[in-house]
Amino acid sequence: MKKKGVGIGISFYGIGYGNGFPDVSKAVVRLLDGGKIGIYTGATEVGQGSKTVLSQIGAETLKIDSKDILFICEDTSLMPDSGTTAASRQTYNTGNAIKTACEKFREELLDAAQRELGLNSVSGLTMEKGEIYLNFFPHKRISFKELSKTYKDNPIEVEGIFTAQTVEMDSETGQGAPYWPYTFNACGVEVEVDTLTGKVEILKAVFAQDTGRAINPKLVEGQMDGGFAMALGYALFEDLEIDKGRIKNNKFSKYLIPTAMDMIDVKNIIIEDPENTAPYGAKGIGESVTIPITPAILNAIYDAVGVRITEIPVTPSRLLKVLADKA
């Protein structure tokens, strides 16, 4: 017999290391040959799209196209430390460091343009599309490419540093401000439970994620889809089955993970409520996207068959045992 149920899961998640731990990111911005802009930072790319998003933050600050940025994050001899790619912190932390560095770099470029153009001050100078010009006399202008030639032997370069603000919790009272900022989300699912076989099938899902501001909406949706798939495996498939310290399901023929055939088209909703301490309002969502999915699935199973599952994954054999115990 097949029964349907719906469930909701909600969560909030603190960004960064938290609890007063020093959370520092650094970035270096340099004018390169040909007028390209080099951004050097130890923000490791592990597939989450940080190179794209962080380049976009730099491009927005300097009013240039992302293709004019050379983003270096792999060579430790060239880049400063930006902390680990963990705790959903890179967009917020390193994004702030890059924005700070680019703002300082902008001032250095304006000063250089003033000198090369023989102007009295930087007042009225506008930076756009790789050029700096007087907004009331556009004929007076100089390009990044020209500046790179002039300063070839002493390239214009600045460093930006950002330290996240957190407070260590009081060990006696448990009070404090361990994280800032937080991100929020909610997920709703509809499931169908086969009480004869114990199989659980996801029929529909809607997922709303707070991003602060979505610098790259496609990447945000990709993270949301990936988080849903990982949590689906956590809820229904992936079982190490440890017996006396030994992993019994130690190969993919036994340790099951969701495939494309197990995923559904999730209705993703991006919620934008810009965070005023973040670069252009953007917050990280790397880990938070997995959190509400499994609770939503478990709640939907309860709604369908009236039993609370306290052990995951909800394999058919486990669900049938719980149903039998209830009966």
Which residues are annotated as catalytic? Answer: 287
* Whole-angstrom distance, CA of residue 33 vs CA of residue 297: 54
* Strands 267-271 and 200-210, sheet pairing: parallel
Q: Would you list the DSSP string of 51-99? A: HHHHHHHHHHHHTS-GGGEEEE-S-TTTS-B---S-TT-IIIIIHHHHH
Check the CA dihedral 16-157-67-129 and report its sign.
Answer: positive
Within 13 Å and on the Cβ side, how many CA atoms surround 60?
A: 16
Tokens describing residue 149: 């030639």
Cα 12 to Cα 279: distance, rounded to the nearest angstrom: 20
DSSP secondary structure string, 229-285? HHHHIIIII----EETTEES--STTTS----TTT----EEEEE----TTSGGG----
* Cβ neighbours around 135 below 10 Å, total: 11
Tell me how far apart the alpha carbons of residues 53 and 285 are, in angstroms, rounded to a whole number.
13
Q: For residue 157, give the H/E element and its range.
A: strand 157-163
Rounded CA gap, 286 and 223, in Å?
7
The span from the CA of 24 to the CA of 313, in Å, is 37
Closest CA to 211 of 148, 158, 283: 283
